[in-house]
């Protein structure tokens, strides 16, 4: 899905496909992949490993392999980690090998140190291959984050699941493939995890490359790639009219780049109407550790603050995904961010 294309028109086409796939398939609505029964292709273009020396699928013949495509700022991927950790702990002794393939969405996700930090933070101890140029991704004909392939002891893909969810079906297939080897199996996990809410705001891409296709920027000044634009304060009535469809307004000085928008001076604000239980953003610092104050309906976020918020503020000390709002149920609110210069926003995602 994230192929690097050269011609301008091809970039736009790719962006349209990207948005459709990400929003239709991964925003809390699991998708069923077509049944597969083909030899798993070899890993390709791997430039580094986390938790392991280099491996090949050929070396893993004789074990059932769960191959998981992920990227560390994808909240849909993050929500699958508790289940993957539980599978690893429960079935490794019976012959299951989990293998993560990290295929990046954004350029900063290609850095092996960033992948290693994300794996440590999420307590992922199984082998993870870094696929920075998406070569293994393309070899598997993949288009989605996250995506699970189950490969039998003979190296044949026997199961394919797109998106988060589907724990019962994945575990049942793991047990079926392990049983074929004659392994003694422990009792089923019966895993249950809090997933995404239904009927929520779709993912919002901030940068002009995909945001312009998505219609993400609702400010009348629009995107002016590479320029610092001082945006007028949005009309509250316009914010209400746009609603929770997945569009934001800028105020003050901002610069739009392909992947992100960047606060370019004092007074930078962003307003977004959303419907969700949980709100996340992917962000990075241009330099230093810019802070972002979080308001909900014009007031400090308070008790609805996500784990990344301290005293109403998020400090952007790394290139990562941050949790900024946690509500008890899906509700409609107006989010306002008051950003220091150097704050780079890539996406909003919701749960």
Give the model confidence (pLDDT) of 261-304 as tens digits: 999 999 999 999 999 999 999 999 999 999 999 999 999 999 99
Residue 100 sits in the same domain as residue 211: no
Does 3 map to a domain?
no
Determine the average pLDDT of the residues in 190-197. Answer: 69
Determine the average pLDDT of the residues in 44-67. Answer: 98
Determine the average pLDDT of the residues in 140-146. Answer: 96
Q: Are 302 and 345 in contact (CB under 8 A)?
A: no
Assign 35 a pLDDT band (cuts: 50, 70, 90): low
Q: Are 48 and 59 in contact (CB under 8 A)?
A: no
Residue 111 sits in the same domain as residue 236: no
Assign 197 a pLDDT band (cuts: 50, 70, 90): confident
Please count the structural domains in the chain: 2
The angle at the Cα of 28, spanning 26 to 30, to the nearest 5 degrees, equals: 65
Residue 159 sits in the same domain as residue 258: no
Determine the average pLDDT of the residues in 245-265. Answer: 98
User: CA 326 to CA 307: how far, in whole Å?
Assistant: 8
Assign 105 a pLDDT band (cuts: 50, 70, 90): very high
**Is a pLDDT exceeding 80 seen at residue 6?**
no
Report the CATH number that the domain containing residue 111 is assigned in CATH: 3.40.30.10
Does 189 map to a domain?
no
Q: Are 221 and 23 in contact (CB under 8 A)?
A: no
Residue 67 sits in the same domain as residue 171: yes
Does 21 map to a domain?
no
Residue 174 sits in the same domain as residue 232: no
Q: What percent of the chain has pLDDT over 90?
A: 86
Does 192 map to a domain?
no
State phi, psi for 287 to the nearest 5 degrees.
Answer: -165, 155
Does 190 map to a domain?
no
User: CA 297 to CA 301: how far, in whole Å?
Assistant: 8
Determine the average pLDDT of the residues in 2-15. Answer: 33
Does 186 map to a domain?
no
If you search the block for the tokens 């950003």, which residue do you land on? 339
Q: What's residue 190's pLDDT? A: 82
Residue 257 sits in the same domain as residue 168: no
Which is it for strands 268-285 and 248-256: parallel, antiparallel or unpaired? antiparallel
User: CA 351 to CA 349: how far, in whole Å?
Assistant: 7
Question: Where does a domain end: 146, 180, 214?
Answer: 180
Does 11 map to a domain?
no
Distances (CA, A) of 53 to 50, 56, 97, 328: 8, 10, 14, 43
To the nearest 10°, the Cα dihedral for 169, 328, 123, 1? 60
Which is it for strands 128-130 and 96-102: parallel, antiparallel or unpaired? parallel
The predicted model scores a pTM of: 0.86
Does 225 map to a domain?
yes
Full domain range(s) for residue 166: 28-180
Determine the average pLDDT of the residues in 167-171. Answer: 95
User: CA 45 to CA 252: how far, in whole Å?
Assistant: 42
């Amino acid at each position: 899905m994230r192929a690097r294309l050269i011609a301008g028109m091809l970039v736009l086409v790719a962006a349209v496909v990207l948005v459709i796939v990400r929003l239709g398939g991964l925003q809390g609505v699991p998708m069923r992949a077509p049944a597969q029964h083909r030899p798993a292709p070899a890993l390709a273009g791997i430039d580094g490993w986390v938790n392991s020396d280099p491996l090949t699928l050929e070396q893993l013949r004789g074990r059932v392999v769960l191959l998981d495509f992920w990227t560390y700022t994808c909240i849909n991927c993050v929500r699958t980690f508790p289940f993957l950790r539980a599978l690893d702990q429960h079935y490794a002794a019976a012959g299951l090998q989990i293998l993560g393939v990290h295929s990046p969405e954004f350029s900063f996700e290609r850095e092996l140190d960033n992948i290693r930090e994300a794996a440590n933070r999420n307590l992922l101890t199984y082998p993870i291959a870094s696929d920075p140029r998406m070569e293994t991704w393309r070899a598997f004909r993949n288009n989605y984050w996250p995506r699970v392939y189950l490969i039998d002891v003979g190296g044949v893909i026997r199961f394919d699941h797109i998106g988060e969810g589907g724990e019962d079906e994945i575990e049942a297939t793991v047990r079926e493939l392990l049983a074929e080897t004659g392994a003694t199996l422990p009792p089923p996990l019966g895993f249950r995890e809090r997933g995404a809410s239904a009927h929520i705001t779709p993912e919002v891409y901030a940068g002009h490359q995909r945001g312009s296709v998505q219609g993400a920027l609702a400010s009348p000044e629009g995107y002016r790639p590479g320029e610092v634009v001082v945006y007028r304060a949005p009309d509250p009535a316009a914010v209400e009219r746009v609603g929770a469809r997945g569009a934001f307004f800028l105020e003050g000085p901002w610069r739009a780049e392909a992947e992100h928008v960047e606060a370019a001076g004092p007074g930078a604000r962003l307003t977004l109407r959303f419907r969700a239980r949980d709100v996340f953003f992917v962000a990075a610092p241009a330099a230093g550790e810019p802070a972002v104050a979080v308001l909900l309906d014009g007031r400090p976020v308070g008790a609805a603050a996500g784990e990344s918020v301290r005293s109403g503020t998020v400090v952007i000390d790394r290139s990562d995904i941050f949790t900024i709002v946690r509500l008890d149920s899906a509700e409609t609110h107006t989010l306002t961010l008051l950003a220091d210069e150097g704050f780079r926003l890539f996406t909003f995602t919701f749960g």
